[in-house]
Structures are given as structure tokens and as C-alpha cells.
Chain A
Amino acid sequence: MTNALLQGLLLGGYYALLAAGLSFLFGVMRIINLAHGSLAVVAAFALWLLADRYGLDPFLMLPVVMVPMAFLGWLLYRLVFARSLRGGALTPILASFGLATVVDNALFQGFGADTRSLAPYIGDLAYESWALPGDIFVGQLAVLVFATSLAVLGGLQLMLSATTLGRRIRAAAEDADAAGLVGVDTHRIYGIATAISLATVTLAGLAMALRATFDPYAGPSQLIFAFEAVVIGGAGSLWGTLAGGVILGIAQSVGAHINPQGFLLAGHGVFLAILVFRVYGGPALATRWRNLKGAKA
């Protein structure tokens, strides 16, 4: 059980990394990018292609893939989000869903149904682990992914709170019209935010391909996990996303520990239970608590 909890915690690190870009974009633009998971798969395929065809190290190639992905993010905002936002706040959801359908099927057309992995291209790191007391083994790669997610979320937080760009992004997120009035080019800021989101997606794609296998239709399930992490943690809050990822990872890991079919069921179940609790339990409990305090005073 301790092992299941620990492995779940580390899995949560991966989900937090996957969800970082989704959470960031939602926080800035209130857009949920339904192509998020599929774009992580695109990055994974790009890294795999470089490793498989040209024998290039996935870690060294990370910047090589990340820069075009960030540019793709900028294009995504300019061509898809900015344009579809004119049709109303809900249209980008539909546009990104259409995009995800195109990306998934185009990947299938290009690469076929085979599952791939980057694990064979990174030597011992794929399976090396540290032994802890009590016969528990901790994969070095899982720890690396967890640390990366901390770095990404911390980096985003730091950028938002301490840099000029971060201040502009926060202003645009708070009130786009008011930010525009004081001279912030919100169009540009949104483009940069989407580019940043896709840069983190590249990291998530690398982590996904290193820790397990992936295939052209892996995008939607990754999107769902990322989304669950974002909502469990409280939409738009970056550290909340980490907590959400960890809760999801632990739920899945413990679920799988109880029953082989429990992995997905427990993950979705915890997500839905938290939603229901927020509707019925949360506010009702808060009111009761307030009444209790009021009675004392």
C-alpha cells in the first residue's frame, strides 16, 4: 500500500506536468484546449522520429522540438483561437476539438497503429531505480519527471509574479479590455501564453514517451487526465494543478492496487466524487461552519 501511494505520488508528477500548460492557458484565456493531449503526442512523435531515424538523444533534442512547438502554439492562437473567439466564448472549444480530430487521425495516417516508446533510446535511466527501506523501489525517471513538473509549475509561477511579461499576462487574464487600455497588447500576450503552453506540452510529450508507450490515438486520454488534474486542483491555480495531479495519480495507483480494472475507474471516480462534493458537500459544509462560528460570537 505504501508502495502504491508513493508510485501514485510520482505518477501525479507526470499528470501535473501534462496539466501545467492546460491550466496555464485556462488561467490566462479561459480557453480549454481540447487538442492539448494530441499536441503532446505530436511532440512525442517528433522526438521519437529524431531518435529512431537519426539516433539523436531525446534529451538533447528537447530544445530542437520545443522551439517549433512554441511557434506552433503562437500560430494556434493567431489562426485558431483568436479567429474562433469571434464566434463566441464557446467556439474555441469546438475549433480545438476539430483540430484534435485532425491531428489524431493524421498521426495515424502517418505512423500507423504501432505503439512506440522513447525508453529504448535513453539507456539505463529507463529502468534504474533507487531502493528504499521496506522493499520499495523508486524509478529514477519517475523522480526526474516529478522534479520537472515542480520546476515547470514553479517557473510559470515565478514568471507570472516576478517578470514584466508575467505582470502583463496577469493583467490580460484579469480584464483584457482594461489591460488593453493601459497599453498591454493582449493579442500578443495571448499568443505568447499559448506558445508557453505548448512549450510545456513538449516536456509532457517527452515524459509520456519515456515512461511508457504511446500511439497516435493517445491524445484524448492524456487530455482527460490533464483536465482532471486541473479541475481537482481548482481551475486556473498552478499549485492546485500539482495537488490535483497527485490526487489523481494516487487514486489511480491505489485503484489498480485493489483491482486490475481499478486504475481508470478510481481516477474518474475520484474526479466525479470531488465535483459532486463541491456542489453538495463543499458549500453546505462551509455554511454550517460559518453558522457555528456565528453562534459562538
Chain B
Amino acid sequence: MNPSPLSIHRWTPLSVASVAAVVGAQLLLVAVPLVFGANVVERLTTLCIYGILALMWNSLAGYGGLISVGQQAFFGLGAYAAIRLADAGFPVYPALALGALLVAVAALPMAQAMLRLKGGEFAIGMWVVAEFVHLLVNLDPLIQGETGTSLIALNSFDAEARRSYTYWAALASMAALAWGMFFLLRGRLGTAAQAIRDNEEAAASVGVRVFAAKRTLFLLSAFGCALAGALWVATTISFQPKTYFSVQWSAYMIFMVLVGGIGTFEGPILGAVLFFAVETAFGATGVWYMIGLGATALLFAMLLPQGLWGAIEKRFGLRLLPVGYFLK
């Protein structure tokens, strides 16, 4: 038998360069609070949180084939867990991560039930979960219903230190989640997930453990969204259940991933940056801004469902952060 003329590759010179560039950029971003003022640091913290949300929504939708309209459940719970832990006297910054971890543990039984739902049923089923969890959190006397409360423990830091710590926490979280996903997707889980995304029945028939792979992605997404919520409460300090459990977060996540490129690794990051730019430019217009977001998501679903990065990837065969393989 002749050896095949084709060989399998993962890296290209370009992708090696771009991974190096991303690592370099992340290291440079660490220095931002030392160089720039309060406004820039706060905006970049927001961008990191959007990045986390986009990556996490995409890990479910793009790789698990699970569209959720209820990830705000974890976003809100993450913030709530941080407040509860801080109220119990736990140091506030570790409480952000520990709270997210606890939310992921709570998401395990949820995964067992919700992952039996298919397609649109899973999508709105998660929304019901978010509404239910919202009502339960409202019952906690510490939260005082819709009045809400604040992460008062943060007052022990002065404003500038708090801003920098929160920024570093957000940057570290985004980088850790992104690289974590990068390596997960390059391994067994990535292969399984992409098989599921392309055809669930076929994947199961060749021995992919579909449920286990989906559950891993569900828990990862729950953890990441919870961490994003905890970081959000660390930047805004105030916790009003209504804003945290709002379906608007789902609208944001869908916008970022759909515009950036669902099921690609680079797409959601691009989507988060675009969303951040759009929000900075038009966020003040309120209702029209939301109309614009919805209309853009609608148009992308209709006309360019693979998103901007999906289109670029197809057109130029570009892979900057390689999680797949190609033949040469």
C-alpha cells in the first residue's frame, strides 16, 4: 500500500504567529491599569466579561448544538453566590470564583433533566429555569426581593485598587476560560462536540458519548456564565435580581455569537469586540439600540448564519487559533 499523499496538519505558520500574538496581547493587557485611567480600565473589564459570555454561549450552541435562552440563570446565580459568600465573611475576590464553582455544581442535576430536551424545547426550558431561579433568589431576605442589595464587602478596597483587581480578575478569567476551551476542544471533547454539532445521531452511532459531552459543555458554560455574573457584580457593586436575570443577556450572547460566527473558536471573540464597539457607540440610544441588535441577529440568522468569522474562514481558509485539522 502506498503511503497517502495527504498529510494531516493542525498548525500553519500563520496560526503559530497568531497564537503567539494573542498570548503577547494578553500579557500587554495585564499592564493596562498601570498605564490608563479609570474609564479605560472599566470599559475593558466590561469587554472581558462580554468575551466570557460569548465564549460560553458558543461552547453550548456552537459545539454542543444546544441553543439556550436561559444562560442568565447562571449569570444571576454567580452574582448571587458571590454576595452570599461575601456576606458569610468569605474574602470577596476568591468568593467570585468559589461562587461560580458552586453554581456549576448546582448545574449538574439541572443538566441531567434539561439535556433530555431537544432544540427549541431546551432553549425555552432554560428560560423557564432562569425565571424560576430569579423568583427563588427574590425570596432570600438578604436580597430583599427586587430591591436588591450590594456587594458591600468591596468597600474594604479603595476605588482604584478595586477597579484594578476586578479588571485583572476579569482578564484572567477570560484568558483561563478561552485557553481552557482551546485545549479542551483540541482533545477528545472537541472531536466529540464537533461530531455532535454536525449530526447527533451519526455521532452516537459511531460511539461518541453524546450525553456526557453535552453535560461537560453545559457545566463549563454554567461555570463561565456564573463567573461573568460574579465579575459583573464586582464592577457594578449593586445587585438587582431583575437586571441580572434579564433575558437581555441572552439577546447579547446570541448577537455576539451569531454575528461573530457560531461554532468557530475565533468568532465569538470577534463578536464580543464588535458588540462592545456597537454598545459604546449606540448604547445610549436605549430602545433603538435593542431594535438594532435584534434586527442584526435576525438578518444574520437569515442571510449569514455562519457569521462573519465563519464566512472569512470559508473564503480564505484562515485558522488563527486552530482547534481543528486540515489536509495538505
Q: Do A and B truly interact?
A: yes
Chain A residue with Cβ nearest B109:
A276
Chain A positions 124 through 159: 1 when the CB is less than 8 Å from some CB of chain B, otherwise 0: 000000000000000000000000000000000000
Pick from B124, B135, B288, B299: contact of A223, CB below 8 A. B124
A102, A220, A272, A276: the one within 8 Å of B291 (CB): A102
**Which single residue of chain A is at the shortest CB-CB distance from B289?**
A105
Give CA–CA (A98, B139) in the complex, Å: 31
A220 CA to B114 CA in the complex, in Å?
20
B282 at the A interface (CB under 8 A): no
Q: Name B277-306 residues within 8 Å CB distance of A.
A: 287-288, 290-291, 293-299, 301-303, 305-306
Contact between A109 and B288 (Cβ–Cβ < 8 Å)? yes
B258 on the interface (CB 8 Å rule)?
yes
Q: How large is the interface on A (under 10, 10 to 19, 20 to 34, 35 or more residues)?
A: 35 or more
Asked whether B153 is an interface residue with its Cβ less than 8 Å from the other chain, the reply is no
Taking a contact as CB atoms under 8 Å apart, the answer to whether B121 and A31 are in contact is no
In the bound complex, do residue A93 and residue B123 qualify as a contact, i.e. CB atoms below 8 Å apart? yes
Q: How far is the CA of A272 from the CA of B120 in the complex (A)?
A: 16
A98-B294, A108-B287 known; A90-B128 Cβ under 8 A: no
Is A105 a contact partner of B65 (Cβ separation < 8 A)? no
Q: Does B202 contact A (CB under 8 A)?
A: no
Q: B258: nearest residue on chain A (CB-CB)?
A: A94
Structural contact, A94 and B297, CB atoms closer than 8 A: yes
- At the interface, yes or no: B237 with Cβ under 8 Å from chain A? no
Whether the pair A87, B305 counts as a contact (CB closer than 8 A) is yes
The one of A84, A90, A98, A276 in contact with B65, judged by C-beta atoms closer than 8 angstroms, is A90
| Category for how many chain B residues contact A | 35 or more
- Chain B 111-142 interface residues, beta-carbon cutoff 8 Å to A: 112-114, 116-117, 119-121, 123-125, 127-129, 131-132, 135-136, 138-139
Partner of B302, one of A89, A95, A268: A95
| B200: min CB distance to chain A, Å | 10
- Write out the residue numbers on chain A whose beta carbons fall within 8 Å of the beta carbon of B296: 98
In the complex, what residue of chain B is closest to A223 when comparing beta carbons?
B124
Within 8 A of B (CB), among A75-97: 79-80, 83-84, 86-95, 97
- Taken residue by residue from 224 to 265, chain A's Cβ proximity to chain B (1 for < 8 Å, 0 otherwise) reads as 100110010001000000000000000000000000010011
A265 and chain B: residue at smallest CB distance: B135
In the bound complex, CA of A280 to CA of B112 (Å) = 9
A84–B302 CB distance below 8 A: yes
Bound CA span A227–B129, Å: 13
Q: Across the interface, which residues of A come within 8 angstroms of B113, CB to CB?
A: 272, 275-276, 279-280
Give the chain A neighbours of B123 by CB distance below 8 A. 32, 34, 93
Contacts of B301 in A (CB 8 A): 80, 84, 87, 91-92, 94-95, 98
Q: Which residues of A contact B20 (CB under 8 A)?
A: none
B291 touches A106 (CB 8 A): yes
- Bound Cα distance A281, B290 (Å): 42
A14-63 contacts to B (CB < 8 Å)? 26, 30-32, 34
A contact residues around B112 at 8 Å (CB): 279
A98 touches B295 (CB 8 A): yes
Does A188 interact with chain B (Cβ within 8 Å)? no
Q: Is B247 an interface residue (CB 8 A)?
A: yes
B69 on the interface (CB 8 Å rule)?
A: yes
Distance, CA A79 to CA B295, complexed state (A): 13
A residues 265-297 near B (Cβ < 8 Å) are 265, 268-269, 271-272, 275-276, 278-280
Report chain B residues within 8 Å CB of A271.
128
A101 adjacent to chain B (CB < 8 Å):
yes
Provide a sorted-by-A list of 13 A–B residue pairs whose CB atoms are within 8 angstroms.
A34-B123, A34-B124, A79-B302, A84-B302, A87-B305, A91-B305, A93-B120, A97-B250, A105-B290, A220-B247, A231-B125, A265-B135, A268-B135
A residues lining the B interface (CB < 8 Å): 26, 30-32, 34, 79-80, 83-84, 86-95, 97-102, 104-106, 108-109, 220, 223-224, 227-228, 231, 235, 261, 264-265, 268-269, 271-272, 275-276, 278-280
Given contacts A31-B120, A34-B69, A101-B291, 12 further A-B contacts (CB under 8 A): A32-B124, A83-B303, A90-B119, A93-B119, A98-B296, A98-B299, A102-B291, A104-B290, A109-B291, A265-B132, A272-B128, A272-B132
